[in-house]
Every structure is written in C-alpha cells, then in structure tokens.
Amino acid sequence: MTDRFLAIIGTLDTKGAEVTFLRDCLRDLGWKTKVIDAGLLGPPAFQPDVSREEVATRAGKSIEGLLSEGKDKVAAVEAMAQGIIRFVTEWVERGEVAGVIGLGGGVGTWLGTSVMRSLPLGFPKVMVSTIPFQDIRPFIGTKDIVLFPSVADILGLNPLLRGVIRNASSALAAMAGLPQKEESSKRVIGATALGITTPAVLASRRILERRGYEMTCYHANGYGGRAFEEGAAMGMFAAVLDLTTHELTNQLFHGTGLAGEDRLEAAGKKGIPQLVAPGGIDVISRGPIETLSSEERKRPHYRHSPFFTHVRVSSEEMIQVGKVMAEKLNRSQGPVTVAVPLKGFSDRNRAGDLFYDPEADGAFLLALKKKLLPEHRVVEIDAHLNDEVFASRACDLLFEMMDEGRKT
C-alpha cells in the first residue's frame, strides 16, 4: 500500500497484550507499524521498535534516572512524552509516518495525547482511552485528536475491548490511507462565530468566497477561541474577521467556555489586518438555568440549551469589556478596525427583544472609543450585527485594510 508506517504508543509493561492486538489489527489492514514503548514499570511484553531506553535518551534522560527513588512520576512521564515527540516529529518531517495511535488509562492517555497535541492539524491521531467520563479538554487541547472510549478498562483483552480496538485501528488506517491532496492556493480569513451571531458569519462567508477567499471559522466556545488564536499565531490566516468576541465577556465575568487571557491578541502580534466586532459581548454564558445565582435570575436571561444559559451583561460590565478590548487592540502591530453595529450585538439583542439595551451597548462603545488609540478605526454601522448590510460593510472594511497592506 505504502512505504509509510503507523506509529503505536503504548506502555508494554502493563498494556502489552492490548498493544499486540492493536498492532496486528493494523497489519491485517495492510499497514506497517512501529511500536514505541513508553512503559516505566516492569519489563516489556515484547521487543518494541523503539525502546523505552531510546525514548528516555531522546529526552536527555536515562530510564535509571527516571525510576530512581524519590523521582516525580509526573516528571518521568513528561520526559517520556518529550522523547516520543522528538521521534515522531522527525518521522513526520521526513514523511515516513502516516498516523499515530495510542491506548491507555489516565496516565497513558495523558502521555499519548501530549504527543498528539504536538503534531500538525490534519495529521491522523487516534487515542483509545478510559477517560471520557471526565472533562477531556485538557487532553485534546486544540488539536483534531479522535478519541475512542474503551468503555471497559484496558486491563486485558475481552470481546468488548477487541471490538473497540478494531474500530479504532480501522479509523486510523482509513484516515492514513486518504490521498494526499494539494492545499488550496486561496488566501484564508480566520473568523469566529456562535449560534447568536451565525447569520453575520454566514453572510460574510458568502462575500469572502465571492472575492476568492476561504474562511476558516471557529466556534467561540472557549476551545474554538483558543484554536483561533493559535491559528493566527501560526500564520494560518491572511487576515481575521473576528465577529464574535463573546469570549472576552466570559473571561472577565467567569462564564463558561473560557478561551484564556490572551484572547484577541495573536492577530495583533502577528501584524495581520483585523476586523473586530462586538458579537456576543452582551452575553455571559452560564451553565444550566438552575445553576444561576439569585442576582443573575433578576437579569434578562434565557436557556440557549439544556446545558447553557445566556445572561445579559450590565452597563457597568459593558464598560469593562470596552476597556479591555481597546487595551488588547492597542498592542496590535497591524491595522485594526472595530465595526460596531448600532442596533444590537446578538440575536436576542434587537429592539423589542429580551436583551435589547441600547444604553448598555452605548456604554461599551463610549469606553472603547475613549481607550482605543487614534490609529485604530471605530466604524459605527446603523444595523444589527446579524443584518446582511453589517456583514457587507464589515467585509469591505477588512478588504480595505488588506488592500492597503499590499500597497505598502
């Protein structure tokens, strides 16, 4: 099928039988394999292609040193992960490896996904794990890791676990066997969206595509905001259309789905054009409605889903958002335009609807304009954020900045 191989990460002292079965499944599917031993306890169940000693050496350590009395287990596992990353990264750079798969419990999942988070987006990554009973976000990060719940513990083969491993190996083999397609030559615009700003983003996508661009849009739910910032920092975008800055509000007022303190900073550091809008900043996302505090229940609020409740942001809080947005944008090394829709920032923030509060939205605008440096533009648009006229004007403003950049 190919000269490339699939890498398997496992602890051969405790998961030897399971790794053997996984390796055989991949071989039956026509793939060559390389097994990397990440074990730190007893002897390996079989001779791997990359030994634990080699892994430790790549991390600048020795197995003896990692296992010596008093050593921190966390530090030892992190060292093994770094050693494996060095092996796999070299294989990826040389085009020798077509995908990576691992299996394990809590520690094995932590180690395997640490390696996978270091690999490029689009590169096949599969983890068979016991951990989906808990929050998996720290394991997945912002990478496209496919996680297969093992359901049964990974403590010996059984009919259930064999079925899960067969499915996982088939998924990896299928992904790895896809033809390598050439990347699009179109320039990419990074964008942000949420259900409450979707019409604006859909209209913007149509406009961008008519102009020959592609949009990569991120769900502004915390995870998406982090991935958006990473994409900007990595140079994935020619410019950004950051229509949904809702995560700033969540970060300031302890909402759900946090993107981190550095949200709205990467594009500025990269120096690429930024069109920024206050999409969703009028909303704090909370958990299920029954978890709201008595003070929050007095504010306008509604159930977005059984898991999330949206609470209206007050005038005082909107001022804080305006100041923070300005402070972040003032550090930008490239052109910035803030497009402000005067008729509402989210779907329920329209005249006559639950979140309509022009006084609070006006307080945000005044705070932003007062704090923002004069070299950055604020353009007020007499429309709602989700009106097509707003999307059209926002895209035009972005194109103006991009055209100016090409002239200089």
Answer yes or no: do 154 and 194 share one domain. Answer: no
Band the pLDDT of 12: cuts 50, 70, 90.
Answer: very high
Give the end of a domain, one of 111, 144, 176.
176
What's the pLDDT tens digit per position in 180-221?
665 667 899 999 999 999 999 999 999 999 999 999 999 999
Please state at what angle helix 106-116 crosses helix 73-93, rounded to 10 degrees.
40
Q: Bigger pLDDT: 381 or 408?
A: 381
Instruction: Assign 3-class secondary structure to the chain.
Output: CCCCEEEEEECCCCCHHHHHHHHHHHHHCCCEEEEEECCCCCCCCCCCCECHHHHHHHCCCCHHHHHCCCCCHHHHHHHHHHHHHHHHHHHHHCCCEEEEEEEECHHHHHHHHHHHCCCCCCCCEEEEECCCCCCCHHHHCCCCCEEEECCCCCCCCCHHHHHHHHHHHHHHHHHHCCCCCCCCCCCEEEEEECHHHHHHHHHHHHHHHHCCCEEEEEECCCHHHHHHHHHHHCCCCCEEEECECHHHHHHHCCCCCCCCCCCCCHHHHHCCCEEECECCCCEEEECCHHHCCHHHHHCCEEECCCCCEEEECCHHHHHHHHHHHHHHHHCCCCCEEEEEECCCCCCCCCCCCCCCCHHHHHHHHHHHHHHCCCCCEEEEECCCCCCHHHHHHHHHHHHHHHHHHHHC
Domain of residue 45 covers: 5-176
Q: Bigger pLDDT: 257 or 286?
A: 286
Residue 370 pLDDT more than 60? yes
What's the pLDDT tens digit per position in 44-96?
999 999 999 999 999 999 988 887 745 678 889 999 999 999 999 999 999 99
User: What is the value of pTM for the model shown?
Assistant: 0.80
Band the pLDDT of 408: cuts 50, 70, 90.
Answer: very low
pLDDT value for 204:
97
- What average pLDDT score do residues 217-235 get? 93
- What average pLDDT score do residues 146-158 get? 92
Answer yes or no: do 137 and 219 share one domain. Answer: no
Answer yes or no: do 86 and 159 share one domain. Answer: yes
Answer yes or no: do 156 and 274 share one domain. Answer: no
* Structural domain includes residue 15: yes
Answer yes or no: do 202 and 165 share one domain. Answer: no
Answer yes or no: do 279 and 155 share one domain. Answer: no
How many domains would you assign to the chain? 2
pLDDT value for 184:
67
Answer yes or no: do 199 and 342 share one domain. Answer: yes
CA distances (Å), 85 to each of 9, 88, 113, 115, 177, in order?
A: 11, 5, 11, 5, 22
Q: Regarding beta strands 214-219 and 274-276, do their DSSP bridges make them parallel or antiparallel, or are they unpaired? A: unpaired
* Structural domain includes residue 181: no
- What average pLDDT score do residues 389-400 get? 98
The CATH code of the domain that includes 121 is 3.40.50.12020
Residue 254 pLDDT more than 80? yes
Answer yes or no: do 196 and 283 share one domain. Answer: yes
Share of the chain above pLDDT 70, in %: 96
* Structural domain includes residue 182: no
Answer yes or no: do 288 and 376 share one domain. Answer: yes
The CATH code of the domain that includes 280 is 3.40.50.12030
Strand partners, 245: none
Answer yes or no: do 143 and 287 share one domain. Answer: no
pLDDT value for 137:
78
Q: Mean pLDDT of all residues in the chain?
A: 93
pLDDT value for 365:
98
Give the end of a domain, one of 150, 176, 202.
176
What's the pLDDT tens digit per position in 262-303?
999 999 999 999 999 999 999 999 999 999 999 999 999 999
Answer yes or no: do 209 and 60 share one domain. Answer: no
pLDDT value for 131:
85
Q: Bigger pLDDT: 1 or 131?
A: 131
Answer yes or no: do 93 and 198 share one domain. Answer: no
> What is the spatial distance between Cα 358 and Cα 341, in angstroms, rounded to a whole number?
11
Share of the chain above pLDDT 90, in %: 84
Which stretch of 17-21, 107-111, 273-277, 312-316 has the lowest confidence by average pLDDT? 107-111
Residue pair 267/332 in contact (Cβ under 8 Å)? The answer is yes
* Structural domain includes residue 172: yes
What's the pLDDT tens digit per position in 168-180?
999 999 999 988 6
Closest CA to 210 of 406, 18, 395, 334: 395
